[in-house]
């Protein structure tokens, strides 16, 4: 694998470690991922949601790698990414990206950045121009 650098982007927040329940919504080149925030180690209310919004997204995918596969070295970027369960920008050319199936949202992208967020049971990966985080407030969870 080419030399890649992983920039840690979520130092003051993170997804709920046990059941983040990520949901992806795509509308053209705007892709969002909504999930429960971690109230155990960060400033978040139990049941509080956040929405990661990716603008100018050209492609995105869900990787089925869970934490067990990642720690055993069978996941994408196992051994390269600094840690599981975090949100990173990947800097550098990733020649293995074309080996995977992607949802294409924009065939003619402008400058793109590469992002990956490792949730408990899957990872979200995309190429986009930029990202932002919106905190969506609390929501009662079904038991």
Residue 141 has pLDDT above 50, yes or no: no
Within a domain: residue 142?
A: no
Give 125 or 43, the one with higher predicted confidence.
125
Per residue in 50-67, pLDDT tens? Answer: 999 999 999 999 999 888
Q: What are phi and psi of 28, to 5 degrees?
A: 65, -130
Structural domain count of the chain: 1
End-to-end CA distance of the chain: 43
Per residue in 83-112, pLDDT tens? Answer: 888 999 999 999 889 899 999 888 767 779
What gap in Å lies between CA 13 and CA 140, rounded to an integer? 20
Cβ contact 51:22 at 8 Å: no
Domain range enclosing 99: 5-136
Phi-psi region of 28 (alpha: psi -120 to 50; beta: other; left: phi over 0): left
**Contacts for 126 with CB less than 8 Å, ≥ 6 apart:** 31, 54, 57, 59, 60, 61, 114, 115
Per residue in 123-138, pLDDT tens? Answer: 999 999 999 999 976 5
Within a domain: residue 56?
A: yes
- Across the chain, mean pLDDT equals 89
Within a domain: residue 141?
A: no
**pLDDT value for 50:** 96
Within a domain: residue 143?
A: no
Within a domain: residue 25?
A: yes
């Amino acid at each position: 694998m080419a030399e890649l650098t992983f920039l840690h982007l979520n130092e003051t927040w993170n997804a709920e470690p046990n059941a983040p329940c990520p949901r992806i919504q795509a509308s053209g080149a705007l892709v969002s991922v909504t999930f429960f925030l971690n109230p155990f180690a960060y400033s978040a209310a139990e049941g509080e949601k956040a929405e990661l919004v990716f603008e100018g997204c050209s492609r995105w995918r869900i990787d089925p790698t869970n934490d067990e596969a990642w720690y055993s070295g069978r996941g994408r970027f196992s051994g390269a990414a600094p840690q599981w369960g975090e949100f990173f920008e990947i800097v550098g050319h990733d020649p293995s990206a074309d080996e995977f199936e992607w949802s294409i949202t924009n065939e003619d992208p402008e400058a793109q950045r590469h992002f990956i967020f490792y949730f408990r049971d899957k990872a979200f990966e995309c190429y986009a121009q930029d990202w932002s985080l919106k905190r969506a407030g609390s929501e009662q969870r079904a038991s």
